[in-house]
Structure 1
Amino acid sequence: MKKLFLLLLLALIATIVTACSETTSTSTDNKMDGKSEQQASNEGEKKEKKPQPFEPLTPSKDAKPLKETMSDEELAKMPVVEAHGEDRTRNTPVGQTLIEGKTDKTEGLLKNYRLVAYYGQPNSTKMGILGEMEPDALMAKLKEQTQAYSDADPSHPAIPTIELITTIAQRDPGPNGLYYHMTSEEDIDEYAKLAKENNALLMLDVQLGRDTALHQVQLLEKWLKLPYVHVAIDTEFHVDEGQTPGVDLGNVDGSEIQEAVEYVSEFVEENDLPDKIILVHQFTDHAVTNKHKIKPTDNVEVALNFDGYGDYATKMSLYRKFVRDEAVQYGGFKIFYNKDEPVLTPSEVLQLDPNPAIINYQ
């Protein structure tokens, strides 16, 4: 009898333990499922980025697709002058701005749009068109030039962009000993307001002097928090100890540019901003070294901009050398109204391989 009682008691205890174990397991599973759902929700929130505040200029009703305005040879081959005696086969199909073989993991502008920028400093007539015109007249001319690109390639409507020099290299070391001074906050604020009022973009250009690219970009934090503000780096004005900007042609190492790229990328996430662009100007072979170290991120698009002036054959061949053959992600091309011979038309610019995603005018 005692033996039967003990067996029944053990069976009852086993049933209770099993039930508790199942309850605990179910509760834990439910908690784990809830955590997974929350994590998935958070990940979804991270991927959803703020929209870009801008308004591209709508192509005219009679604008034709770029491919319809070009001959079969132009579609298959780059211009003779760009090839400079080498193979003319295109790397990147006409109309594609992302360089073939490269990726863009951002939700940035350069995938679907083209930037047309006016470059300069408002207090200098020698540094670009921004110093040659009053703000309202400047915007009117910029929009006219931008419209020409929207019409030349309707698949990439163009966005008017102001490229404002914000740190200016100088021959005097100045109080900080770094051979640069900043454009006044009042001037930067004025052009930030001008861009916003015109649904345009503002690109803040840094000339470095003896400072680092990272620190110069950090100086712009106040304006980088604006969703329509981007960054340009003028590499030729970055000089070493014993050198002087404007006397010695400078350079920036790709690893230093990458520090700025990663900083801006983190800044975008921390401040819940739309993805940004970093434009890197290059004038000579020496101006940007170790380009392979420049890596676009999930939050930052990078464009290499050929920044030279002169005859169109030289400019096109150097665009091939600096942008196409040493590709990072996107290409940019600068035009000098007063120095180029001749000034290329939008249709001529868009024959380049790859098609420039950014065209800036000085």
Structure 2
Amino acid sequence: MSPPLLGAALPVIAAPMAGGAGTPDLAIAAGRAGSFGFVAAGYQPAAAFAADLATVAAAGVPFGVNLFAPNPVAVDPTAYRDYALLLDAEATRFGVPLPATPVEDDDDWSAKVDVLRAHQVPLISFTFGLPPTADVALLRSTGALLAQTVTSVAEARAAASAGMDVLVVQASGAGGHSGTFTPEVPVPEVALPSLVAAVSAAVSLPVLAAGGVGTAADVTAALGAGASLVAVGTALLRAREAGTAAPHRAALVDPRRTQTVVTRAFTGRPARGLRNTFTDRYSEAAPLGYPALHHLTRPIRRAAAAAGDPEPLHLWAGTGYRHATDDPAAAILTRLSAGA
């Protein structure tokens, strides 16, 4: 695959960032810069997703859509109750109620598939697992390229067998959620170029590389290992068009924040973020359970963001977070593309 296939002139594209950071403005800015952005459907009701899709489509720029594929991790009811009791002090401090019983959903999957059947987009990507076979066929019928996030050679082979067109190879240094199919198994710490090379040797599909990219040298290394394009997310968290919460933006440049950790304390799935009080207190106690833990901690996280308190907040960040700047997205993407 080459950049022109996605309508992009730059070798660096803007990764999807669900939950607020990835805005229509960011996707549009990436497209206008000669790059490529995404509408992040995750955590949105289908109607809100459709509205964002319409906004970006109206701008006339190349873009894609990212969906959370249904791959729930059922939480143990007793473990959920124990964790909720542990978090009660946090909820009380912010004056917010927590769900008494686990909330299990599929992120409005079927309704979002219906939206995409009605609106053609160039690329649809999936994370958290392979989508149902029938839905792969439905989405393929729209004419979109289909891309799958993978974190290992085994997942890459499964994606190829499922008929995917493109692999998004995500290394362990990525910020936010790992796209692993098996969240109960720790994701090996493998450098992005090594993972790209291993996947490229095993599977004959185009590769988009992601995870831990902060510099132009990181981009060059991933491309040299066999990637066709490199996707960056953390590098854009402080971009002017990003919807990143103010305390999150500040934490990315706080000299006291010197470490990222992989935790399931916030959502019940492994995700990388800046170490804070919440990760220190609750990472070991948090059970597996997605999306139940996401819904459990969400009231606390929303209240913390509104209060400007970074300590109970999910400060998603990849290992290259120190390179995130508050420039326009076009400047960031162009800088990272230098020398590629």
Which TM-score applies when normalising by structure 1? Answer: 0.40
Rg bigger for which structure?
A: 1
The TM-score with structure 2 as length reference comes to 0.42
